[in-house]
Chains A and B, each alone.
Chain A
Amino acid sequence: MPSIREAFARVETAALGCLAGLSPAVRRRAPNGLEFLSLCILFSFAVLLVSATPPEKHLSIYSTAANYSLPIVQRQGHDYVGLLELLDPLGTVSAKSDPPRWRIHYNNILGDFTVGKNHARIQGRDADLSAKFLIENGRGLVPLASLGSLLPRFLGGPATLHEESGRLFIGSIATHFTASVALDDPSQLIFHFTSPVNPSVATEPGHLRLTFSREPLTSPASPTLTFGSKTIPSATYSESNGTAQITVSGTVPLMASFSNDGRTITLSPAKSQTSATAVPAPSNPAPQEPAANQSASIPRRYFAIVDASHGGNDRGEALSNTLAEKDVTVAFARRLRQELENRGISTLVLRDSDANLSLDERAFFTNTTHAAVYVALHAASNGHGVRLYTALLPYTSEDDRGPFRSWTTAQQSSITLSQAVAASVATELRKQQIAVRTLTAPLRPLNNIVTAAIAVEVAPSASDLSQLTSPDYQQLITTAVANGIVAIRAQLGAAP
């Protein structure tokens, strides 16, 4: 199945080229006449095939095991998908159709469904469906809208459904991205992704569209991004029919080039048609070079990065039977962002959802956005008040000098600034009568951050754990932390 889809995707890309002659990938390769002709004929067939049937709706599924796509069928005004087909790539699955009953085994979990019923039994427990269960040719069809609640019962983990756009995230899988305009050349826009991506690129007057059908790309904090660039004023993020799209508006025709193993995409004004046709051969390596140069000079888009530590499978400390550290850190992070923005400090919260974000990804994001200060938030049941940490750098010597040395001790050059931030925040916390300690800690990713970086570990002021979720306590702490950062803002602004 995937190979057929891929083949179609190639035909489509080639077709765009034969119609408009615009796709840079195709233009770069300069197909010969016969190849070009045959692709155009193939495309005509594809158009005939596609135009004969209405566009089919798809559900894209993203998981660590596989990324795949399934057709969505409409029955009685509801969207349905085949449950067996959905679970098949994720584990060992078998189904037995014995109308009106339909049973499915996924690993050791038994699901028992009945045609026409709005509920099912999974491992002997009731599960509600948003519409009636159906069987067609032995295939068990479940309503799309129920997947978000149904799948965790089979998979034993979270599943997030974007119902409108037909996208399903199994576990906490996600690819995040940032976008910023190059400082030395405002006509270039650079996207950084946390995992390699391979979108299809389409150009139309005034726009360039990147379409991600296989990547679990997730929305940035705001779906509309604006850049202070005349050439590339804005970009919007959207999702539809199993894909995510980034549409970039441009006042001149744009082209995309990929670097950093598919983690970076640079958009820049397309070279004029005449120069491209005049010198076809050297146009190949050209787009790579500017991308490599710019990664060193991306402008600062956010002054502060607030990192809600842990998330997804990493729950952090189990603060109580019901309270996980990862949920407390998000609450603190959102409040701290509000307090910083109230003080005119542009702030990005890393992990504004329950996503898995590795320590490397957190450091990579912070370093590529060129923020002035990084604040990681932790919560603890042990002790009281607030502990402020700066990096305890690992051992290095002349003998250890190698390619990875700079990554583990990237914080080295900013450590004095980080200590100054910690001291400033400590002063503000003490003003609020909050017990505070300043320590170093072997705590990643502090040592991987190239700018001022601190971690804030919040414990209750007394032994009452419920304080950690109390809005008053969160407000008290985040106000003081924000004041501490504002107090040292001038010093941070001057930082490289």
Chain B
Amino acid sequence: MIPRHLYIAVSVLVLAVLGMSLYAWRMRGRAAAEPAASVDTRPVVAPVAGPTEQVTLYVAYDDDGVLHAQTAQIPLPSVRQQRAEELLRSLIALYLDKSSPHPLPPGSDIRSVYLVDPGLAVIDLNAAFADGHRSGVLTEELTVASMIQTLSANIPGILKVKILVEGKQRDTLAGHADLSAFFDVSAINRLTSQLQSSQ
């Protein structure tokens, strides 16, 4: 036979556990809902009516394996870092378009661009960008050069660029382009001139 006081004590404990579980469950639901709401309010797409500025994008074309400079309008953010992110987002939007000259995998995006100290830019790509990227020396090089040249042409003073994926260092983009070291912007500038002609 179970003593009466033990029975009561166990019942109280069980009730307490159930009560806490219910509370924790509700808190978890609320916590999950909150960041989603804040993400929704963030202006990801360029505000249509806001002031814009003209920039130069270096766009890769797979047909001839070249980079072409072309102008685009991007929203005018006040912060240098946001400007860098907007630049790359408009470039990626071109590549994700139906008539893309250099298709990137669906869901490709940049997580952020950090301008850490004068001269260093860190581009953090999402996993979809790198995991689904097509493999090949030229194919990968066009992606890398297009992003770095676009940044350096519109944001003065960048000397070196590091590309991360999901915040982590990766050996290569898709088996070829070396992401383990810092890209030398002046070397990428010279490469861009080579890549602007298909000869």
Contacts and interface: CB of A to CB of B under 8 A. Distances in A.
Interface of A: 310, 314, 316-318, 325, 378, 380-383, 387, 389, 392-396, 408, 437-444, 447, 455, 457
A443 B137 CA distance: 7
Given A437-B198, A442-B144, A442-B177, A395 B134 contact: no
Nearest to B135: A317
B190 A440 contact: yes
B175 A310 contact: yes
A442 B171 CA distance: 11
B183 A382 contact: no
Given A325-B135, A382-B136, A395-B182, A440 B187 contact: yes
A462 B182 CA distance: 36
A310 B171 CA distance: 14
A387 B190 contact: no
Given A447-B178, A455-B137, 7 more contacts: A317-B135, A378-B137, A382-B136, A387-B65, A439-B194, A443-B178, A457-B137
A441 B184 CA distance: 12
B187 A392 contact: yes
27 contacts: A317-B135, A378-B137, A378-B176, A380-B138, A382-B134, A383-B62, A387-B65, A387-B137, A393-B184, A393-B187, A394-B178, A394-B181, A394-B182, A395-B183, A395-B187, A408-B181, A439-B141, A440-B187, A440-B190, A440-B191, A441-B137, A442-B177, A442-B181, A443-B141, A443-B177, A455-B137, A457-B138
A382 B180 contact: no
Contacts of B191: 392, 439-441
B135 A442 contact: no
B89 interface: no
Interface string B122-162: 00000000000011111101001000000000000001100
B70 interface: no
B136 A444 contact: no
A457 B136 contact: yes
A438 B197 CA distance: 11
Interface of B: 62, 65, 134-139, 141, 144, 159-160, 172, 175-178, 180-185, 187-188, 190-191, 194-195, 198-199
Contacts of A378: 136-137, 176
Across the A-B interface, the 3 shortest Cβ-Cβ residue pairs = A394-B181, A317-B135, A395-B184
A381 B139 CA distance: 10
Contacts of B182: 394-395
Contacts of A389: 137
A396 B194 CA distance: 22
A13 to B, nearest CB: 41
A318 B187 CA distance: 29
Q: Could you tell me the dominant secondary structure of chain B's interface residues?
A: mixed
Given A314-B175, A457-B138, A382 B62 contact: yes
A380 B137 contact: yes
A383 B64 CA distance: 7
B176 A443 contact: yes
Contacts of B144: 442
A382 B139 contact: yes
Contacts of A318: 135
Given A314-B175, A382-B62, A395-B159, A387 B183 contact: no
Contact of A382 (B138, B181, B184): B138
Nearest to B65: A383
Contacts of B187: 392-393, 395, 440
A323 to B, nearest CB: 13
Contacts of B160: 395
A316 B175 CA distance: 6
Contacts of A437: 65, 198-199
Nearest to A392: B187
Contacts of A444: 172, 178, 180
Contact of A442 (B65, B139, B141, B199): B141
Nearest to B139: A382
Contacts of B65: 382-383, 387, 437
A392 B198 CA distance: 18
Nearest to B162: A395
A266 B181 CA distance: 34
Contacts of B183: 394-395, 442
B153 to A, nearest CB: 18
A392 B65 CA distance: 18
B175 A317 contact: yes
Contacts of B134: 317, 382
A242 B178 CA distance: 39
